[in-house]
């Protein structure tokens, strides 16, 4: 934007960032250049101070909060609704705490990764009145007990990162290793209008069986009747272990029980991508009338070509 110069301050002494944030009061922001901030990134090797003073920066369009160490309470994240112009919001930490007090933690993945923290990213798309948001959750703990699920932690997380007057259009779960039937308690109103769902590295259920994974996925898909694009990527085999992986059934990770019934019942599905799975067949259903099934090349399904070395997940364009 004309007249606005980017500024970066690196390697602040301990405690200085806290003093800076404490000085961002509403009156000071109104009088100073801080009100002109449209993009802000706060990154720390230690726990970030309480970001509450940032609420004075109502002109922010992009906000990144990243800490490499978290205290017991977790990084206190601000509701996206606090910033009326926000179009991109990224949070990275070991533990995050939503405004209502519920916490969500990092979920260690069995997939190779050097990133040992959860990542939450939101992008707003479209014009006011028709805005949708794409939310990505990476290595985020969804394996709660039923009692914890009753607290509707995921609903709290999604509501926190969704901007005002925007509906959830896309949800991506990456390396969210374990799903449970109750992972999405209370999320139905938020997921009902969603058109794209991508599950990458979601390869296990609470008891480690394919039947339980199918049940958990079925419960999720039942909440998303308007899906146009669905991507499922299982746990890929290691190099030179493809035959053993297929023979062993993937250890309860690869949909060998088949597609969840809720998937075959989808009536608006346009593209289905299934990668690193052991589908026994492709059942009939409403989904097949309008769905492009060409993205099943990485699925070990009778009648379909086997694709090794494994190809990259095929994400439908939106």
- Distance separating alpha carbons of residues 159 and 102, to the nearest angstrom: 12
Higher pLDDT, 80 or 165: 80
Are 269 and 290 a contacting pair, CB within 8 Å?
yes
Q: How confident is the model at residue 18 (pLDDT cuts 50, 70, 90)?
A: low
CB 201 within 8 A of CB 176: yes
Q: Are 89 and 161 a contacting pair, CB within 8 Å?
A: yes
Higher-scoring residue by pLDDT: 308, 296: 296
Q: Would residue 317 count as lying in a domain? A: no
8 Å CB contact between 36 and 6: no
Residue 251 located in a structural domain: yes
Res 97: pLDDT: 93
**CB atoms inside a 10 Å sphere around CB 93:** 27
pLDDT score recorded for residue 37: 81
Structural domains in the chain (count)? 1
Is 13 inside any structural domain?
Answer: no
Mean pLDDT to the nearest integer, 222-239: 83
Enter the tokens of residue 92.
């990275």
Any domain includes 306? no
pTM of the model: 0.80
313 part of a folded domain:
no
Q: Tokens for 238, please give them.
A: 């290691």
Weakest-pLDDT range from 40-44, 155-159, 203-207, 215-219: 203-207
Question: Is the pLDDT reported for residue 86 higher than 70?
Answer: yes
Tens digits of residue pLDDT in 95-122: 999 999 888 887 655 444 555 678 899 9
Residues 6+ apart with CB under 8 A from 198: 170, 171, 172, 173, 174, 229, 230, 231, 315
Three-state SS at 307: coil
Residue 280 lies in a domain: yes
Question: How would you classify the pairing of strands 132-138 and 118-125?
Answer: antiparallel
> What are the residues facing 138 on neighbouring strands?
119, 174
26 or 33, which is more confident? 33
Q: How far apart are CA 287 and CA 263, in angstroms?
A: 7
Domain assignment of residue 199, given as a range? 61-299
User: Does residue 116 lie within any of the structural domains?
Assistant: yes
The reply to whether 109 falls in a domain is yes
Of the CA atoms within 13 Å of residue 50, those in its CB half-sphere come to 6
């Amino acid at each position: 934007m004309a007249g606005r110069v980017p500024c970066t301050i690196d390697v602040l002494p301990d405690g200085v960032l806290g003093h800076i944030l404490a000085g961002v009061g509403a009156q000071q922001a109104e009088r100073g250049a801080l009100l002109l901030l449209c993009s802000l990134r706060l990154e720390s090797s230690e726990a970030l101070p309480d970001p509450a003073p940032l609420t004075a920066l109502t002109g922010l369009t992009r906000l990144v909060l990243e800490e490499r160490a978290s205290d017991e309470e977790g990084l206190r994240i601000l509701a996206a609704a606090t910033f009326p112009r926000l179009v991109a919001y990224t949070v990275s930490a070991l533990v995050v705490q939503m405004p209502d007090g519920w916490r969500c933690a990092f979920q260690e993945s069995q997939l190779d990764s050097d990133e040992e923290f959860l990542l939450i990213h939101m992008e707003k798309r479209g014009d006011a009145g028709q805005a949708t948001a794409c939310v990505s959750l990476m290595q985020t703990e969804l394996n709660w007990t039923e009692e914890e699920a009753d607290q509707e932690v995921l609903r709290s997380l999604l509501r926190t990162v969704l901007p005002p007057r925007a509906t959830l259009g896309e949800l991506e779960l990456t390396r969210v290793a374990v799903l449970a039937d109750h992972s999405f308690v209370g999320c139905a109103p938020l997921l009902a209008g969603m058109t794209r769902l991508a599950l990458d590295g979601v390869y296990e259920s609470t008891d480690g069986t394919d039947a339980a994974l199918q049940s958990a996925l079925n419960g999720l898909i039942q909440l998303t009747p308007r899906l146009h694009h669905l991507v499922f990527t299982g746990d890929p085999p290691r190099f030179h272990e493809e035959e053993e992986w297929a023979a062993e059934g993937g250890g309860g990770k690869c949909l060998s029980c088949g597609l969840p019934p809720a998937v075959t019942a989808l009536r608006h599905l346009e593209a289905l991508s299934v990668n690193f799975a052991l589908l026994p067949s492709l059942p009939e259903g409403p989904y097949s009338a309008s769905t492009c099934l060409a993205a099943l090349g990485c699925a070990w399904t009778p009648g379909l070509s086997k694709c090794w070395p494994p190809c990259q997940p095929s994400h439908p364009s939106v």
